[in-house]
Structure 1
């Protein structure tokens, strides 16, 4: 009988080349978010369940089917976070973040959803996330979109990725559009899918992004948001598109791109690709000016986006965009009596910012050859001469790395 513990289905152990791709995504995100002056925040892995049920919506699949919720010993319902935005909104309301408005924050880490595992989708997965809180201006939307486009370019995966962009209008525009959609789809209710029939009265916008062929037959002729946009909403969207044009960010108008929850306003967007199969969204987001109200707070404009690290990692790996780091220094200890000196040198090199591997075990006669096989830019061998440890710098040309190693060797005595 096999008693070895098994991994939970839908989770993953990340190692080797996969871990390198994952780390490359996170490191690039951290570098880019600093360029845009987004503050790093760390959020709790679990929250009170109501944080998510009130923000994501009681009737959504995420809340009704996919959340990992449990009662703690005090009888309070807690939930492992299925996304970042709700927790960030809660912190804005409870931690005094309002005093920093407009506030730009970014984070990354694990999220949890109980769903059918598939390519690039796991029950424990990871996202990067960027939000601008307390900014009503469309330029906040532009900055987030430019930042996202910049990130994809820095990751080397922007080819074949398209920014799809839409507006949901302001409150009045959205309500007028919603009423027209209800009226339109009621006339075809009997021919819609079961899910869309259920959504018709409470969430008709979701029918527009249905993947069911029965619904797609009617979506093309459904009322468009542009017919109902107020002058203010038109101006807002016009400023967003003008900003993207000025920044050189290409986009496509996607009139069926929607967000089903009522607190979403104005800009909605997704960066999509055909390289991930059916799950083609690489990064997505939008403006959610009504979210804070749904959590019991004051009216607070906000906009943000999130992207799955696993999906980005797959694209990075497929594109061969993960840089391979050559080892800088290899140390070969050819005489055990010189080991203490070699260890001192190794510490000195690392404190100078140089990466180092040491070969100090196994047959002493074979250590040099093992060190050579590491393929380092600079190789240093250690031995004994007249009872004293010595270091020999082995390099065929003078480089920045070899000069740095030589300087450390000169500063450290045996």
Structure 2
């Protein structure tokens, strides 16, 4: 039997994993600069956590969730997105308490699961980086989250970014718009797709998000949410726009943007990139918005929130397509060459001592001749080689060679194992140290 990975999943091999690690560590450092701290939630949750927050008419709930009954008869689901689990953790662990300064800012990274047709940059198991901030209703926090998303993508070296924003207003504005949309769509009921017929009276805003060609044609003339905003909603959105202007972050208002999940309110946004690697024209790479009311839905107090999510697979495709240079993060400091079987114990002791002192070190494990070992050191771009044979064993010294300059010196074994930094400073360039 031939074993293969499940459809819609991918093996991330060592060379690619180095790139993923770089992206994740870059994100961690940037988020810490903005004072966001990591949170880790379970990979599966009670089904209701996602169905209640995402909306029972969303594609995520109706078509894409991996759900199952466990052995205890509990209805569970693999997480299809990160926000709901973070909100559940926020409520369950009472992070809204007075001992937690507001806003409470967190970020997450991990696998998500959706049963959909696999395609470039879109898998059934995919990886997401996201942030959430709770406890402030101020437009300034909306703009901080947007600015952080833009900042992150620029840190990754991506160019030709486009920020699109919209508002869904508060509940009062949304209810007024919801009715106007129903009134507009009802005369076209028979022309709508089956999915949109179901959504029309449950959540008509989702019809605007339909991918069906007939639906798209119908909603072209639909009323705009911007015409139904009350004064508070207008004031919030105007403040967001003025703050983006103050930070010199260009944006485009897209009144048709509604996002795919039901929990959004007020500011929503998408950061797009123009790259053929994900199709023609601009494609969304990072998206999010405000979700006032979501904490209450999961049993918490009234507590506003805002966040965004970023797909790792799509990001990696874009970085490759734009020829982003990844730094070398696996530098080999020292390769230890042993000449003769009798040196095996000493070479093992040396590499372990070097590793204990913070150096990356390796040696031969295939019983190869010295020439083959030196070739390996060259291929791995080792900065130094340490060579030990019978004569070196007797003299209790080893030959240390700096590969870039070719300079080679005999150094006492005790000096090498005790403080190799000092060896470098003493025998080679005074200003050269290995981090």
TM-score, normalising length: structure 2 = 0.85
Deviation (angstroms), 1:326: 6.4
Residue 382 (structure 2) pairs with residue 382 (structure 1): no
User: Given the alignment of the two structures, is residue 318 of structure 1 paired with residue 321 of structure 2, yes or no?
Assistant: yes
- The correspondence for 1:306, drawn from 306, 309, 318, is 309
Runs of 4+ in 1 over 4 A off after TM superposition: 396-399, 403-406, 408-411
* 1:31 counterpart (10, 29, 32): 29
Match of 1:333 in 2: 337
**Alignment match, 1:239:** 239
- CA displacement, residues 8-41 of structure 1 (integer Å, 9 cap, x when unaligned): 2112211144323322221221121111111111
Alpha-carbon distance between aligned partners in 2 of 1:260 and 1:119, rounded to the nearest angstrom: 20
Q: Secondary structure at the match of 1:83?
A: coil
Deviations 1:121-151 (A, max 9, x none): 2221111110001221112111111111111
Structure 1 pair 49–122 and aligned structure 2 pair: CA distance change class (3 A) = same
- CA shift, 1:155, in A, is 0.9
1:391 paired residue among 398, 420, 433: 398
State the match for 1:277 in structure 2: 279
Q: How many correspondences in the alignment?
A: 405
Structure 2 CA distance for partners of 1:392 and 1:212, relative to 1, 3 Å: same
Q: Which residue of 2 aligns with 1:176?
A: 176
Distance 1:273 1:140 in 2: 24
Alpha-carbon contact 2:334-2:359 (below 8 Å) kept: no
Whether the 8 Å contact between 2:332 and 2:380 is mirrored in structure 1 is no
1:236 to 1:352, Cα distance in 2 relative to 1, 3 A? farther
Q: Shift of the alpha carbon at 1:370? A: 2.9
8 A contact 2:335–2:382 mirrored in 1: no
Deviation, structure 1 residue 90: 1.2
What pairs up with 1:8-407 in 2 under 5 angstroms? 8-99=6-97, 100=100, 101-157=102-158, 159-259=159-259, 263-275=263-275, 276-277=278-279, 280-321=283-324, 322-325=326-329, 327-336=331-340, 337-359=342-364, 361-385=367-391, 387-395=394-402, 396-397=404-405, 405=420, 407=422
- The answer on whether the counterparts of 1:334 and 1:365 sit within 8 Å (CA) in structure 2 is no
Pairwise CA distance, 1:184: 1.7
Instruction: Report which stretch shifted further, 184-193 or 33-42.
Output: 184-193
8 Å contact 1:368–1:381 — kept in the other structure?
A: no
Q: Shift of residue 102 of structure 1?
A: 2.0
The 1-side partners of 2:345 and 2:250 are apart by: 58
SS in 2 for 1:188: helix
Determine if contact 2:55/2:262 at 8 Å carries over to the other structure.
Answer: no
For the 8 Å contact 2:208–2:256, the answer to whether it is kept is yes
1:310-355: CA deviation from partner (whole Å, max 9, x where unpaired): 1111112223322234634232424244444433443343344433
Q: Write the distance in 2 (CA, Å) between the matches of 1:229 and 1:398.
A: 72
- Aligned equivalents of 1:369, 1:213: Cα separation in 2: 60
Do the aligned partners of residues 317 and 259 (structure 1) sit closer, same or farther apart at CA in structure 2, a change above 3 Å counting?
closer
Question: Post-superposition shift, 1:410?
Answer: 9.0
Q: Within 2, Cα distance between the matches of 1:262 and 1:310?
A: 24
Mapped contact 1:203–1:261 kept (Cα < 8 A): no
Report the Cα distance in structure 2 between the residues aligned to 1:326 and 1:69, rounded to whole angstroms.
39
CA–CA separation in structure 2 for the residues paired with 1:317 and 1:23: 15
Structure 1 residue runs of 5 or longer lacking an equivalent are: none
1:367–1:39 CA distance, 2 compared to 1 (3 A): same
Task: Tell me: CA distance 1:297–1:363, structure 2 relative to 1, closer, same or farther (3 Å).
Answer: same
On the 8 A contact 1:265/1:289 being kept in 2, the answer is yes
Contact 1:205 1:260 in 2 (8 A): no
**Alignment RMSD (CA, Å):** 2.6
Tell whether the 8 Å contact from 1:332 to 1:368 is kept in structure 2 after alignment. no
Preserved contact between residue 54 and residue 262 of structure 2 (Cα < 8 Å): no
Distance in structure 2 (CA, Å) of the matches to 1:213 and 1:120: 23
Match for residue 433 of structure 2? none
SS of the aligned residue for 1:97 comes to coil
Q: d(CA) in 1 for partners of 2:378 and 2:296? A: 64
